[in-house]
Amino acid sequence: MSSDMLAIEIRAPGAPSVLEPCRRPLPQPEAHEVLIEVAAAGVNRPDVLQRMGGYPPPKGASDIPGLEVAGEVVALGSAVTGLALGDRITALVTGGGYAEYTAAPAVQCLPIPEGYSPVEAAALPETYFTVWSNVFDRGALKAGETFLVQGGSSGIGTTAIQMAHAFGARVLATAGSPEKCQACLDLGAARAIDYRKEDFLAVARQETGGKGVNVILDMVGGAYIEREIAALASDGRLVFIAFLGGSKASIDFLPVMLKRLTVTGSTLRARSVDFKAAIADKLREKIWPLLEAGRMRPIIHTTFPLEQAAQSHALMESSSHIGKIVLTL
C-alpha cells in the first residue's frame, strides 16, 4: 500500500472549480477506527457549503470533503472488534470521503446491503442517518400520521419519502417540476406539490381535511417557516436540517403555543461517535432488512469519477438532479 493517495482538496473557498485533485498522506486509523479503500463516495449539500466556506469541518476532522463512503476494510485499529480485513462496508465520516482511502470509526460502519453495488451503498449513510435521527427520533413520526417533506426529489427527500411510507405514514412532498413531482409519487408520496405552481400550505390543509400535517422536514427555512407553522396540526413537529432559503424569518409564535407545536432541528456532522453509533444500530435493526428486501433503495441520479468532483458540485448546485450524486474510484 502506498504512503500517499489521490484526494480532492478545497484550494480556497469558492466556486466548484476550487475543488482540485491532490496527493495526501494515507490516513492512519486510530484504535477504534478502520481504514477503508474507497470505491465510491456520496456528494451532499454540506460538502457544497464546506467548499464555499460556510461549513468548516469539526475540530480534528479531515479538511478533505466527503461525509459518506463505501468500500473495503484494509486496516484495523488496535481496539476494533466486529469487523475484519476485506469486509465490504459503507460508513458515515466527518470528512475525508473524497479520497482513495479514509478512516472511519468502526461503530459508524455498516455492511453493504446484500445485492448492493458500492455506488448504491455510498448513497446511504448521510441521508439515512439524517432522516432517521430527525424524522423518527426528533420528529417522532408514527404510522398513520401525515408527513410533509420539503425538497422531495433531493437525496434527503427521496430517502425520507421511502422511509416514512415504509413505516406507515402518509407522505406529502414538494418538488420543483412535474418530473420531480412524479418521482416523489413513484417513491410512495400520496401527493406531490409543485411549489412553483401550488401553495404547500393550501394543499396540506386540503389533504388533511383542515387538520394539518403532523411532521414537517424542512431544508428551506426563510419564508417557508411561518407557513409551515400554519400547516402543522395540533401537537405537530417542525424539524429543520438546513436553511437553503435563509435561517432568519419574522414569526408569530402564538400558533406554536395554541397548537402545542414542537420546533426543533439538528446537524449531524459534529455529534459524538457514540451518538452516531446509536443511529447506526437503529439502521441495522430497522432499515437494513428493508433495503435488502427491496422495500426501499437509494435513487442514484448520476456518477462522476473522483477527479471530476467539481462537475458533481456544479450539478448539485443546479438542483436539476433527482436523488443522489456519487463519486467513483
Q: What are 16-69's pLDDT values in tens digits? A: 999 999 999 999 999 999 999 999 999 999 999 999 999 999 999 999 999 999
Average pLDDT (292-316) is 97
Q: What is the pLDDT of residue 195?
A: 96
Provide the 10 A C-beta neighbour count for residue 9.
Answer: 18
pLDDT reported for residue 304:
98
Round to whole Å and give the CA distance between 163 and 58.
29
CATH code of the domain covering residue 145: 3.40.50.720
What contacts 15, CB < 8 A, 6 or more positions away? none
Chain centroid to CA 253:
29
The residue written with cell numbers 419519502 in the block is 161
Read off the pLDDT of each residue in 123-134 and give the average, rounded to a whole number: 98
Q: What is the CATH number of the domain that holds 316?
A: 3.90.180.10
| Among 214, 233, 265, residue at a domain's last position | 265
- Of 217, 203, 218, 255, the residue nearest 234 (C-alpha): 255
Kindly give, in sequence order, each residue whose CB lies less than 8 Å from that of residue 210, ignoring residues fewer than 6 positions away. Answer: none
Cell numbers for 312: 458533481
What confidence tens digit (pLDDT) does each residue in 225-271 have? 999 999 999 999 999 999 989 999 999 999 999 999 999 999 999 99
Q: Do 101 and 135 fall within a single domain?
A: no
Res 2: pLDDT:
85
232 and 165, same domain (yes or no): yes
Output Rg (C-alpha) for the chain, integer angstroms.
20
Beta strands in the chain (DSSP E): 4-10, 19-25, 33-43, 68-76, 88-92, 101-105, 109-111, 146-149, 170-175, 191-194, 213-218, 232-240, 262-265, 300-305, 324-328
The answer to whether residues 167 and 260 belong to one domain is yes
User: Are 137 and 249 contained in the same domain?
Assistant: yes
Asked which of 236, 265, 294 is the last residue of a domain, the reply is 265
Judging by DSSP bridges, how do beta strands 232-240 and 68-76 pair with one another? unpaired
Using DSSP bridges, classify how beta strands 324-328 and 33-43 pair: parallel, antiparallel or unpaired: antiparallel
Looking up cell 470509526 gives 105
Asked if pLDDT for residue 281 goes beyond 90, the answer is yes
DSSP 19-51: EEEEEEEPP---TTEEEEEEEEEEE-HHHHHHH
Q: What is the mean pLDDT of the chain?
A: 97
* Rounded CA separation 7/69 (Å): 13
Are residues 114 and 15 part of one domain? yes
Residues 241 and 172 in one domain: yes
Handedness of CA 287, 291, 296, 302 (dihedral sign): positive
DSSP 52: T
Assess whether 105 and 202 both reside in one domain: no
Q: Is the predicted pLDDT of residue 290 greater than 90, yes or no?
A: yes
| Domain range for 161 | 128-265
- pLDDT of residue 4 exceeding 90, the answer is yes
Q: Give the count of domains, the chain.
A: 2
pLDDT band at 1, cuts 50/70/90?
confident
Q: Determine the pLDDT at residue 254.
A: 97
Average pLDDT score over residue span 74-89 = 97
Residue 89 shares a structural domain with residue 101: yes
Number of C-beta neighbours around residue 127 at 10 A: 24
Same domain, 157 and 137: yes
- Grid coordinates representing 177 are 417540476
Within its chain, how far is the Cα of 107 from the centroid?
18
- Percentage of the chain with pLDDT > 70? 100
Considering the domain architecture, whether residues 163 and 236 belong to the same structural domain is answered as yes
Here the cell at position 317 is 448546485
- Looking at the structure, tell me whether residues 253 and 287 fall in a common domain: no
Residues 6+ apart with CB under 8 A from 235: 214, 259, 260, 261, 262
Contacts of 234 (CB under 8 A, 6+ apart): 211, 212, 259, 260
End residue of a domain, out of 249, 265, 281? 265
Sole residue written with cell 473524497 = 98
C-alpha cell at 29: 486509523
Reported as a single tens digit per residue, the pLDDT across 153-189 is 999 999 999 999 999 999 999 999 999 999 999 999 9
Q: Average pLDDT, stretch 277-282? A: 98
16 and 99 together in one domain: yes
